[in-house]
Amino acid sequence: MSEPRKESFIRSGYEQSSLLSLMKRIFWRLIAPLPDRPYVALKFWSMKGAWPRLDAPRTFSEKVQYRKLHDRNPLYGKLVDKLAVKEFIAGRIGAQHVIPTYWAGTNLRDADWSKIPLPAVMKPNHASGLGRFLYTQADVDALVIDDPGPAWLATDHARYNREWAYSQVERKIVVEKLLSKDGGVPWDYRCFVFNGVVSYVIVDTRVDDRGYSATYSRSWERLPFYDPDYYAPYPGELPKPDTLDLMVSLAERLVHDLDFVRVDFFDTDEGLFVGELTLYPGGGFEAFEPPEYDLILGNAWQLPPKLP
């Protein structure tokens, strides 16, 4: 297990610094006024170099777009809300799998930091890839001076990726317990649950301060696919976690009645905690290498026979 990272912000696995990435971002701004359907189609084309089949989706990426455009399950707003989902998790699999919340609100100046134990992590309840680790009082003091809250609360996934569920979330800043494993950051196990069955587990880990990812079947057989725009594939084999059977059981109990959800677990010194539930991984724009796995995952996802 690697040592805890001392950086201020949680980093997304994606590094977008190339000229091509800049051009794409300019293009996305230009198409931002468009309605959802043409926006999704054009953004998909700009990311994947092909037009999506929005009415008869086959690949995983296309089915994410289909969900964004058509599926308005009223439960989704709670599932993508990192604060509200805690009640859902506790009700289905138990409060022992919920990350403790220390504070939630819209203005950091309202927080009583004398009552918030450190270390802690601060993040918005409605967005990914944003957050800050708080290890010491100096981190808290710097946070209050350079408050990222207003910028985080302005982030709008419902517009940026046209992910409808986020439009149902009351945006807040959340401060919660910082989890650990053997003195370091716990690994992130991302369980892909299709129609109530875990099919794949993607493991995100850090070794020597470098991020890696590896994909396994539910029986812990290494699979070759990965996202070339995300962390590099782990060069060796990761040990099967002792908690794998429990992880699979909990994930399937948690979302047994939904057609697809990615359930993210942290395996910690204190047990398994659900980090978040993801309905639109990567906005449905992630790359697959080898590319045929986009279709393989798509085949595992049986969409409801009729969406409203």
Q: Give φ, ψ of 106 to 5 degrees.
A: -115, -5
Determine the Cα–Cα distance for residues 47 and 60; give it in Å rounded to an integer: 15
The string of DSSP letters for 138-183 reads: HHHHHHHHS--HHHHHH--HHHHT--GGGGG----EEEEEPP-BTT
Q: What are the sequence ranges of the domains in the chain?
A: 19-300
Segment 36-94, tens digit of pLDDT: 999 999 999 999 999 999 999 999 999 999 999 999 999 999 999 999 999 999 999 99
Are 279 and 292 spatial neighbours (Cβ–Cβ below 8 Å)?
A: no
Determine the Cα–Cα distance for residues 260 and 240; give it in Å rounded to an integer: 24
> What local confidence, expressed as pLDDT, does residue 77 receive?
97
Segment 11-49, tens digit of pLDDT: 444 444 588 888 999 999 999 999 999 999 999 999 999
Assigned CATH topology for domain 19-300: D-amino Acid Aminotransferase; Chain A, domain 1 (3.30.470)
Among the listed residues 277, 278, 262, 272, the one whose alpha carbon sits nearest the alpha carbon of residue 95: 272
Q: Please give the structure tokens belonging to residue 36.
A: 């959802």
> What local confidence, expressed as pLDDT, does residue 13 receive?
42
